[in-house]
């Protein structure tokens, strides 16, 4: 007969007696009789699930998806706001000299000064008026009247303008290159440089005290504008240089032949430059007219005279490489000899381009999606502009047919708060828009 169950005791069959449960040996396994089990009852397996370890791989995708969703939403909102831009103003430049053929060839703006170069070799400037409203897209009166500074080369256009926080550099297009280096804060502090062996300068890039020129058959590097004897390095390209960009120790040059080259200023250039890309292929050869490195030098935005625009990956540069992003719809600039404005915004989100068809276009830099204005937002600007020179317009820059193509574009951060301002110049007209408003 099996032993009885007594609460708080267990039966030891070997010694044939009961003992308290508290005295039961931990390793004791000789209890063949039923005993009271004080362990808590385990729930049914269907009801009890051990807590799963929250591994990073489980949680990261959810966070990434949420972040990507927020990024996409932000990009979409920014895209729509840019497309709905409609607040801008314009002016017609009052040329101080009598004579025909005066037109804007180059333009640059800073927070306190603006510079303009014309087709007769004159450099103009103006300053921000301290007594005016800082809302630069509502009132051109923020800026004083244009003042002629100097004639760099009579009957030779100002082909390139560069500005930094400390200086402005103007270069003329001539058989003998002349350069004006002006202090950004003290206009009277001006230095003139002459490079008799350099001709046909079409582009320039200023970084600190170093200046790069795109000239006939070569790029030219002036290593220090402040030095008493300016060291000049010739960088042969075997083709006329139409565009240059300077980023730290690297110089990018786009040529008439369509070749895009890169020079490293830290090494001797006796072996020549590295050929990055060629414009050949199915589309045929075309001159490179725009080059700008982005994303810390990992990619290069290129523009060609036949209208092709694209972003190329510099990590996989080769002559036959194809762009990783293309920007469709930009018309050929052959009728304008490549002198059409192209610009990136300071945050490297959008690419802006002036077309030979007298229109402005923009694309998202990372995706190539075009900025499409809302239906019915187009309205022609007044033609001609009012006699007083200034006019406020409620027109969308991406839905308007302008009276002249723009040869210069520049996007800058607004001085009076968040946002950006687009400046566009062509003929005798200067336009600006507060983007997204």
* Average pLDDT over every residue of 398-425: 91
- Least confident window among 9-18, 371-380, 410-419: 371-380
Taking the C-alpha atoms of residue 381 and residue 363, their distance in angstroms, rounded to an integer, is 23
| Mean pLDDT value across residues 30-42 | 44
Lowest mean pLDDT among 173-182, 233-242, 368-377, 420-429: 368-377
Of the candidates 159, 146, 151, 157, which has an alpha carbon nearest to the alpha carbon of residue 96? 146
pLDDT in tens, 266-322: 887 656 789 999 986 556 789 999 999 999 999 999 999 999 999 999 999 999 899
Whether the predicted pLDDT of 31 surpasses 70:
no
pLDDT band, residue 176 (cuts 50/70/90): very high
Mean pLDDT, residues 72-88 taken together: 83
Band (pLDDT 50/70/90 cuts) for residue 33 is very low
- Give the tens place of pLDDT for each residue, 97-154: 766 778 999 999 998 899 999 999 999 999 988 765 544 445 577 899 999 999 998 8
The pLDDT of 66-85, averaged and rounded, is: 73
What's the pLDDT band for 243 if we cut at 50, 70, 90?
A: very high
Q: What is the pLDDT of residue 147?
A: 92
pLDDT single digits (tens) 180-198:
999 877 778 899 999 999 9
Residue 172 has pLDDT above 90, yes or no: yes
- Residue closest to 127 by CA, chosen among 188, 185, 171: 185
User: Is the pLDDT at 201 greater than 90, yes or no?
Assistant: yes
Judged against a pLDDT cut of 70, whether residue 379 lies above it is answered with no
3-state secondary structure the chain: CCCCCCCCEEEECCCCEEEEHHHCCCCCCCCCCCCCCCCCCCCCCCCCCCCCCCCHHHHHHHHHHHHHHHHHHHHHHHHHHHHCCCEEEEEECCCCCCCCCCCEEEEEECCCEEEEEECCCEEEEEEECCCCCCCCCCCHHHECCCEEEEECCCCCCEEEEEECCCEEEEEECCCCEEEEEEECCCCCCEEEEEECCCCCCCEEEEECCEEEEEECCEEEEECCCCCCCCCEEEEECCCCEEEEEEECCEEEEEECCCCEEEEECCCCHHHCCEEEECCCCCCCCCCEEEEEEEHHHCEEEEEECCCCEEEEEHHHCCCCCCCCEECCCCCCCHHHCCCCCEEECCCCCEEEEECCCCCEEEEECCCCCECCCCCCCCCCCCCCCCCCCEEEEECCHHHCCCCCCCCEEEEEECCCCCCEEEEEEECCEEEEEECCC
Q: Please provide the average confidence, as pLDDT, over all residues in the chain.
A: 83
Higher model confidence: residue 69 or residue 156?
Answer: 156
Please say if the pLDDT value at position 68 is more than 90. Answer: no
Q: Which is more confident, 52 or 402?
A: 402
pTM over 0.85: no
Tokens of 63: 């966070």
pLDDT value of residue 213: 98
Q: What is the mean pLDDT of residues 326-349?
A: 88
- CB atoms under 10 Å from CB of 417, counted, come to 9
Strand order of the β-sheet with 158-163 is 158-163, 167-172, 177-183, 190-195
């Amino acid at each position: 007969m099996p032993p009885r169950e007594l609460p708080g005791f267990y039966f030891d069959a070997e010694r044939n007696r009961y003992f308290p449960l508290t005295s039961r040996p931990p390793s004791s396994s000789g209890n063949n009789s039923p005993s009271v089990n004080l362990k808590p009852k385990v729930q049914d397996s269907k009801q009890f699930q051990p807590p799963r370890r929250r591994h990073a791989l489980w949680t990261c995708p959810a966070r990434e998806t949420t972040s990507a969703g927020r990024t996409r939403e932000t990009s979409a909102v920014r895209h729509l706001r840019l497309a709905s831009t409609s607040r801008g103003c314009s002016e017609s430049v009052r040329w101080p000299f009598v004579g025909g053929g005066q037109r804007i060839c180059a333009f640059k703006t800073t927070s306190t000064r603006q510079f303009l170069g014309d087709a007769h070799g004159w450099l103009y400037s103006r300053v921000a008026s301290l007594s005016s409203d800082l809302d630069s897209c509502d009132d051109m009166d923020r800026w004083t009247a244009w003042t002629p500074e100097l004639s760099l080369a009579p009957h030779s256009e100002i082909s390139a303008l560069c500005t930094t926080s400390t200086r402005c550099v103007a270069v003329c297009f001539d058989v003998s290159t002349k350069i004006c280096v002006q202090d950004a804060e003290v206009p009277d502090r001006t230095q003139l440089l002459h490079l008799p062996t350099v001709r046909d300068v079409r582009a320039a890039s200023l970084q600190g005290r170093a200046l790069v020129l795109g000239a006939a058959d070569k790029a030219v590097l002036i290593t220090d504008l402040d030095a008493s004897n300016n060291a000049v390095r010739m960088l042969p390209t075997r083709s006329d240089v139409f565009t240059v960009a300077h980023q730290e120790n690297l110089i990018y040059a786009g040529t008439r032949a369509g070749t895009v080259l890169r020079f490293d200023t830290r090494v001797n250039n006796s072996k020549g430059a590295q050929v990055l890309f060629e414009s050949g292929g199915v589309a045929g050869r075309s001159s490179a007219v725009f080059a700008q490195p982005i994303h810390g030098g990992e990619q290069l935005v290129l523009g060609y005279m036949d209208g092709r625009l694209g972003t190329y990956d510099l990590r996989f540069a080769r002559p036959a490489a194809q762009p990783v992003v293309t920007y469709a719809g930009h018309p050929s600039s052959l009728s304008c000899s490549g002198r059409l404005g192209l610009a990136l915004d300071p945050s490297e989100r959008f690419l802006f381009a002036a077309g030979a068809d007298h229109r402005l276009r923009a694309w998202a830099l990372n995706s190539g999606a075009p900025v499409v204005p809302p239906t019915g937002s187009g309205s022609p600007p007044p033609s001609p502009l009012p006699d007083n020179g200034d006019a406020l317009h409620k027109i969308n820059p991406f839905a308007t047919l302008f009276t002249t193509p723009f040869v210069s574009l520049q996007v800058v951060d607004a001085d009076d708060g968040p946002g950006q301002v687009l400046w566009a110049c062509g003929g005798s007209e200067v336009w600006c828009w507060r983007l997204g408003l």
